[in-house]
Amino acid sequence: MNNGTKWFLLGALIASIVCVTLSYKCCGDRDDEILRLKAEIADQKDVIVEKEASYNKLRDDTEAMVAELNGMIDSSNTVIARKDEEIATQDERLAELREANKVLTNKDEIIENLKEQVFILDKKFTLAQAQLSLKDNVIFALNEKYKVEYKLRLESEALCEGLRVQVKKQILLIDALEMKLAYQKRVSLYQKIGFGALGLLLGVIAD
């Protein structure tokens, strides 16, 4: 083997050593980057799980409040309907007394009839007041139900948008990680080729 060939092979050997060394350094940097990406992906997953838990709690709390308000509405409506029946009964009795009063001639009977009419009117007024109060309760419950459901809708939209953002971030991180892993695989292949070339060059030079 002439000197020119030996110098060429020596230069090739040095170049191979440099390439392998650089590939190791690059591979080490990539390893650090891969670890960082994996950590970020794990963090994103934790954020997504946390947001999902927040949404589920909000939904459950809202459903519980709506169920309670619906119970209040149903209960009030039941009592209102019962008072409607009571008022209708008083109206019937009042109509009977007024008809009877038209034919009464005895002063005491007329007075008793009028007293009973006043009593019924007072009872009817009391029932109507209670009914109005119950209707106020229904209106209040309906308003609160609307507020609760509206708040749920707004917060759900915000949470869902946040989840979409987190998922997009996670997808981008996973894509980046896959690229890094593919690059690392190529570098590993180059290292194997480089070691093979080094062994071959060393064998040739030694000869």
How far, in Å, CA of 205 to CA of 207, rounded? Answer: 5
Go through the domains of the chain in sequence order and give each one's CATH number: 3-206 (1.10.287.1490)
* Mean per-residue pLDDT over the chain, rounded: 76
Which range is least confidently modeled, 7-11, 64-68, 75-79, 179-183? 7-11
Q: What is the CA angle 149-154-155, rounded to 5? A: 95
Identify the pLDDT of residue 156.
79
**pLDDT value at position 169?**
77
Residue whose token pair is 């009593």: 119
What is each CA distance from 17 to 30, 107, 148, in whole angstroms?
20, 131, 70
Q: What's the pLDDT score for residue 168?
A: 79
Q: Which tokens hold the place of 115?
A: 């007293």
What is the tens place of the pLDDT at every residue in 51-94?
778 888 888 888 888 888 888 889 888 988 988 898 899 999 89
pLDDT exceeds cutoff 90 at 154: no
Is residue 27 within 8 A of residue 189, CB to CB? The reply is no
The answer on pLDDT for 107 being more than 70 is yes
* Distance, CA of 63 to CA of 105 (rounded, Å): 64
> Other C-beta atoms within 10 Å of 196: how many?
11
